[in-house]
């Protein structure tokens, strides 16, 4: 799917943002390594929060980030690889990722790990379940 199609889908998913009862959700996808292959995992495995800066502006979209976790489990660096919309997602999402605490996966030695993570930020839906469903669907589309 190309950029124009993804932009259309994002606009479609965010059209009802200002109506009463709309929900927002976030979908986290471990691209590389997968969740099962990861050395370092987020200590609290709940869905990341929607950045307030994006929610206040009604911004939906996606971002792919390279995150490096050092041998001690500290976030060494966070780099935006691609996003829709361009650049708007980088700063607020970087703040969210910096707040994550990492814990060593069972049976894994403490090594430096480079992770490729995708976060989708979705708005719309009259129920929480509908918003989550829309976000899972968006997460299957290209983010470039």
Does residue 60 form part of some domain?
Answer: yes
Write out the two tokens for 109.
């030695």
CATH number at 96 reads 3.30.2420.10
Does residue 14 form part of some domain?
Answer: yes
Number of domains in the chain: 1
More confident residue, 5 or 40: 40
The arithmetic mean of pLDDT across residues 116-121, rounded, is 94
Does residue 118 form part of some domain?
Answer: yes
117 pairs with which residues across the strands? 30, 65
Question: Would you say residue 25 has pLDDT above 80?
Answer: yes
Does residue 143 form part of some domain?
Answer: no
Question: Would you say residue 131 has pLDDT above 70?
Answer: yes
Does residue 78 form part of some domain?
Answer: yes
Residues in contact with 25: Cβ distance below 8 Å, sequence separation at least 6, in sequence order: 47, 50, 122, 125, 128, 131, 132, 134, 135
What are the pLDDT digits (tens) for 39-88?
999 988 777 778 888 888 888 899 999 999 999 999 999 999 999 988 78
């Amino acid at each position: 799917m190309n950029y124009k199609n993804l932009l259309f889908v994002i606009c479609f998913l965010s059209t009802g943002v200002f109506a009463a009862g709309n929900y927002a959700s976030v979908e986290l996808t471990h691209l590389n390594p997968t969740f099962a292959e990861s050395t370092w995992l987020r200590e609290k495995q709940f869905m990341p929060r929607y950045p307030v800066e994006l929610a206040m502006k009604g911004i939906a979209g996606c971002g792919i980030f390279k995150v490096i976790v050092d041998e001690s489990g500290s976030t060494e660096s966070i780099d935006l690889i691609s996003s829709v919309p361009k650049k708007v997602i980088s700063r607020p999402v970087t703040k969210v990722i910096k707040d994550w605490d990492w814990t060593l996966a069972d049976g894994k030695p403490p090594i430096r790990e480079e992770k490729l993570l995708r976060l989708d930020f979705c708005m719309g839906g009259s129920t929480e379940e509908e918003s989550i469903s829309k976000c899972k669907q968006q997460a299957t589309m290209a983010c470039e």
